[in-house]
Structure formats: C-alpha cells, structure tokens
Structure 1
Amino acid sequence: MALSLDPARLPALREFAYWMHRYRRTWRGTVVVNVANPLLFLAAMGVGLGRLVDHGGSDHLHGASYLTFFAPGLLAAATMQNAFLDSAGPVFQSARHRGNYRAAAATPMRPADIFTGHLLFTGFRILTTALIFIAVVVATGAVAWQHCALLLPAALLTGLAFAAPVAAWAITVTQSTRINGVFRFVLMPLYMFSGTFYSTTQLPGWLHAVVSVTPLYQSIQLCREVALGTAAPLASGVHILYLAAMATAGLLLGRRTYTHFLHS
C-alpha cells in the first residue's frame, strides 16, 4: 500500500504546512541567529583561536586540529540552542488566547496533531541549518565528507531531544520571563561546560562526572566521535539511546500537556 501524505489523513501535516507558510515570509530574519552566528563563531574560535591552540599543542585533542575538534561540538551546541529558540518562544506565543494553537484546536485537529506538526517543522529547521553548517565545515576541510552522512542524523537527534521536551514544557508557561530564565541559567551553562570548547577530561573528576550525564555532553560526544571517525558501537549506542529517550519522553509528555492546556 502506498504511503499517503494527504493532510486530511495526517492532520499534523496541516500544522506543519501552517508553519512552513509563515516561514516563507520570515526565513530571512532567522539566517543571522541560526546560521550566521554559529559560522562566525566557528571562524573566530575554530580558526582564530585554533591557531594558538595548535601551535601550543594539546594531548587532549588526540592528534586532531582544534578546528576539527571544535566544529562538531559547536554543531551540537548550536543545534541545542536553535531547538530551544524554535520550540520555547513560538510555543508560548501560539498557546496564548489569540495564538494560532487556539484556532487550530477549534478544528477537528487534536492537540497531539498540533504538537506533532509543530515538531515536524522544528525538525525541518534543524535539518536545514545543520546541513548548511556541515557543508561549510566540510568545505574548510575540518571534517571529512565521508562522515557527513552520519553527522546530519546526529544533529537531528540532538535537536529533537531538546525540542520535544522544551515544547512540552513551554505550553505550560504563563510568563515569558521563565523562558528567558531557562535560557540563561540552564542552556548557557550547558553551552559553556559540556565540552563544546575543550575536552571535559580536563575538569576535576567530580565535575566531569556531573557534566557527563547532561544531554548536551552526550550530543557533543556523539557528533565528535562521528566527525573524527572514532565512533565505537557501545559508546555511541549509549549516546544515541540517551538522546532518543529524551526525545521519546518529550513526545509522550507533550501529548499530555498539549491536550491538557489546549482543552482547558
């Protein structure tokens, strides 16, 4: 039987189509935050600072250049940030009394369809921004093109691992200051201390143990192992299961929170 993508049979595609329609009008405004900022940061840190690091030498890079070491970590961190930005604020605004979620909930669409459709759009955004980043990284020679086929799914899994739980939580938020607080006091510490810029083996033992159970650390390790060609089935499998469990938990929780708050 042929797979049907008819929106009448898959109502989540209607919500996805709505976000794509909005995106056609607003995509230019997202280029700087989602694409240009990470690439400029890659040039400044990976190339600029990287020359000093490579000149001094570091056993923690395991023989790789700093750009090669830094690029997959930045991909994971930027994907986390983009997933949060595309899930937290838009969900919060859409769930307000005059938001588009309320209009969609008045149709035969279920809250779960609204949640799934928005998450599909977030996944599309993650894929496109990650693809551009990876293309630039490959063009600089930091990552071998043979590893790109696995690096893109790793970035998508990272994005969904953050986007699904964040969306499930954001629909329950009543004040935008809470979103800003989570970004400042949760995401930014993860960005700084999960190994984006350096090997976490340099941290004190107790701090390394704490960092190693955070989701961004798992994503960075997965992306870095894939990019460097050092992925081992057991270690990479642990990272994948961790992120997949986060995404699954977010999906299950989101169905509950969307149903509760859109039918209240």
Structure 2
Amino acid sequence: MAIEERVPATRLAPATAPGWVHGVLLVVESFWRWYRRNWRATAVSSVLQPLLFLLAFGLGFGSLIASRPGAEAATGGVPYLVWLAPALLAMSTVQSAAFEMTYPVLSGFKWQRVYLGMAATPLTGAQIAVGHLVWVAAKMTLTGAVYLVLIAVFGGAASIGVLGSLAAAVLTGAAVAAPVMAFSASREDEGAAFNALFRFVVLPMTLFSGTFFPVAALPAWVQPLAWVSPLWHGTELARAAALGTGTAGAVLGHLAYLAALLAVGTGLSVRAFTRRLAP
C-alpha cells in the first residue's frame, strides 16, 4: 500500500495592525500615490479657478472700486487686491474641501469602494476617516502655496504675513471638510443632497462671508448669518495675518470656533466611517 506523503499545512501569521498614527499615514500615502499620477485632473479647480477670481475681482473689479471715493476706508486703507487676496485663499480652500468631501467620499463607499478595500486590511474606520481628512488638508496646503506664489506675482502680498493666511485658510478648509465628510458618509446615494449642499450652503457662504465686501455692508438682519459661517472666521483670520489687523481676542475667538467645528466634524466622521465599515 502506497504511503501518502502529506505536506504539513503552514499557518499564516495574522496581519499585524499598524499603530494608530502609522495607519493614518498609510491612508495619506494611498491618496498621495493617486494624486501624484492624476494631479492634472484637479489643477483647474484647485489653482486656476481661484486665479481667475483674483484676476477678475482683484484686478478687474478692483480697478473700478479704487476709483470710488472712500473705497480704501472700507478695506482698511489698503488696495482692494491686497485686501481680497487672503480672503480668496480661504474661499478656495472651503470650495475645495466641500467638493473633496462629497462625491469622492460617497464614491469611496459605493462606486470605487476604496474605503472597503482599506477596511479589508487591519486599518480601522477611524484611521481611514482621519487619514482622508489629513490628506485633504495636505492637498489644500500644497495648492494654497502655489496660489500664494501667484498672489505675490500679481502684487497681492503686502507682507510675509500671507504665510499665516495660508495656515488660516487650511484650518478653515479642514473645519468645513470634517462635517461635510460626516454628512457624505451617511448618504446612500447623492440624490439632491449634494446639490442642495452646494446651492444653499457653500454658495451663500462664499458670497456673504466678507470675501468680496465687508460684512458691515450687509443688512443688519443678514450679518448674524455671516458670523456663523466658518468662511467668515477664516477670512478674518487670513486678513489679520496678511494685513496685521485684528485683536488678540478676536483672533483667539476665530481659532476657537474653527477648532471646535473641526473637532465635532472629525468625531462625527469617525463614527460614521466606523459604523459603515464595520464587518
């Protein structure tokens, strides 16, 4: 009788879960690898669009404003272009954050299912959520730095303080990105929800947060709506850094508001990702 020769089964060592920070960085690396090959697809919305705003409003519309008496009084005695540039930087990060955290997030669950692939590894839902948020902040920093160079080329940088404007803009974008991510992670399909978000939240926030004209120029009953806008707080911070204006109390108040919004939004996103990616 032939003796069967059995090969002993080998045991695969269980995958070791990475440390919390290491896991977040792995998610960031994944998005970076994609962006490094496909950055041209986002160049228009990230850099070209705010540049067109700068040229149209800062140079075009700004030349009309400069000819009106008392115009510099409304901008704190500085040219309109210099006054507008840090606000446009904050506005561009908010618009970018809103877009990055709507369709791409839903796609990560439903269409491309990138998140599901990540969740099949030892990565947790919390690491995936925070990693994507960190990546968006890093991307906003990169594109914002390019925009700062363009601002300087066209004469919109009054001092080295514009570097502080970049930090304020990225914080503002992250404070918007976090709650929008939580909202998108709770959706099963885009439906009319994303259109409503852009039409009734992002667009009014862009127009009525002191970006193109002082909030004081708005009717008195509209001004409180501007004060709750994260873009208004980010615009005030960016201008305070670029122009050297603003009191310490006001700056701390703006920072606290944006930090609280970021913390709450991140917590909601972590919970939504953890529930949706649970095995």
Q: TM-score, normalised by structure 1?
A: 0.93
| 1:95 is the counterpart of 2:109 | yes
Q: Secondary structure at the match of 2:261?
A: helix
Partners in 2 of 1:222 and 1:55 — Cα distance? 28
Q: Where does residue 185 of structure 2 map in the other structure?
A: 171
Structure 2 residues without counterparts, runs of 5 or longer: 1-16
Is the Cα contact below 8 Å between 2:160 and 2:242 reproduced in 1? no
Structure 2 residue corresponding to 1:39, chosen from 24, 32, 51: 51
Partners in 1 of 2:125 and 2:91 — Cα distance? 30
Q: Where does residue 27 of structure 2 map in the other structure?
A: 15
Structure 2 residue corresponding to 1:162, chosen from 176, 195, 207: 176
Q: Which amino acid aligns with 1:239?
A: H
Partners in 1 of 2:210 and 2:141 — Cα distance? 22
Q: Which moved more, 1:247-256 or 1:205-214?
A: 205-214
Q: Where does residue 10 of structure 2 map in the other structure?
A: none
| 1:208 is the counterpart of 2:223 | yes
Partners in 1 of 2:112 and 2:139 — Cα distance? 25
Partners in 1 of 2:66 and 2:158 — Cα distance? 19
Map residues 24-173 of structure 1 onto 2, 5 A cutoff: 24-57=36-69, 58=71, 59-96=73-110, 99-173=113-187
Q: Secondary structure at the match of 1:176?
A: coil
Q: Secondary structure at the match of 2:127?
A: helix
Q: Which amino acid aligns with 2:119?
A: A
Q: Which amino acid aligns with 2:265?
A: G
Partners in 2 of 1:49 and 1:138 — Cα distance? 19
Partners in 2 of 1:161 and 1:61 — Cα distance? 26
Q: Where does residue 198 of structure 1 map in the other structure?
A: 213
Is the Cα contact below 8 Å between 1:75 and 1:155 reproduced in 2? yes
Is the Cα contact below 8 Å between 2:163 and 2:242 reproduced in 1? no
Q: Cα distance 1:82–1:212, how it changes in 2: closer, same or farther (>3 A)?
A: same
Render the CA deviation track for 1:155-184: whole Å, top value 9, x for unaligned. 111111011111111111122231122012
Structure 1 residue corresponding to 2:253, chosen from 238, 243, 251: 238
Once the two structures are TM-superposed, the CA of residue 114 in structure 1 deviates from its matched residue by: 0.5
Partners in 2 of 1:111 and 1:247 — Cα distance? 18
Is the Cα contact below 8 Å between 2:24 and 2:127 reproduced in 1? yes
* Identical aligned residues as a percent: 35
Q: Where does residue 252 of structure 1 map in the other structure?
A: 267
Partners in 2 of 1:149 and 1:214 — Cα distance? 23
Q: Which amino acid aligns with 1:17?
A: E
Render the CA deviation track for 1:129-165: whole Å, top value 9, x for unaligned. 1111112112322222420331121111111101111
Partners in 2 of 1:231 and 1:126 — Cα distance? 24
Q: Cα distance 1:37–1:98, how it changes in 2: closer, same or farther (>3 A)?
A: closer
CA RMSD of aligned residues (A): 1.5
Between Structure 1 and Structure 2, whose CA radius of gyration is higher?
2
Render the CA deviation track for 1:98-135: whole Å, top value 9, x for unaligned. 50111111211100011111112101111011111112
Once the two structures are TM-superposed, the CA of residue 65 in structure 1 deviates from its matched residue by: 1.0
Q: Which amino acid aligns with 1:160?
A: A
Q: Where does residue 203 of structure 2 map in the other structure?
A: 188
Render the CA deviation track for 1:56-108: whole Å, top value 9, x for unaligned. 13231121111111111111111100011112111110011650111111211
Q: Which amino acid aligns with 1:219?
A: G
Q: TM-score, normalised by structure 2?
A: 0.88
Q: Which amino acid aligns with 2:176?
A: F
Task: Looking at secondary structure, tell me which structure has more helix per residue.
Answer: 1
Structure 1 residues without counterparts, runs of 5 or longer: 1-6
Once the two structures are TM-superposed, the CA of residue 192 in structure 1 deviates from its matched residue by: 1.0
Report the count of equivalent residues: 258
Q: Cα distance 1:175–1:225, how it changes in 2: closer, same or farther (>3 A)?
A: same
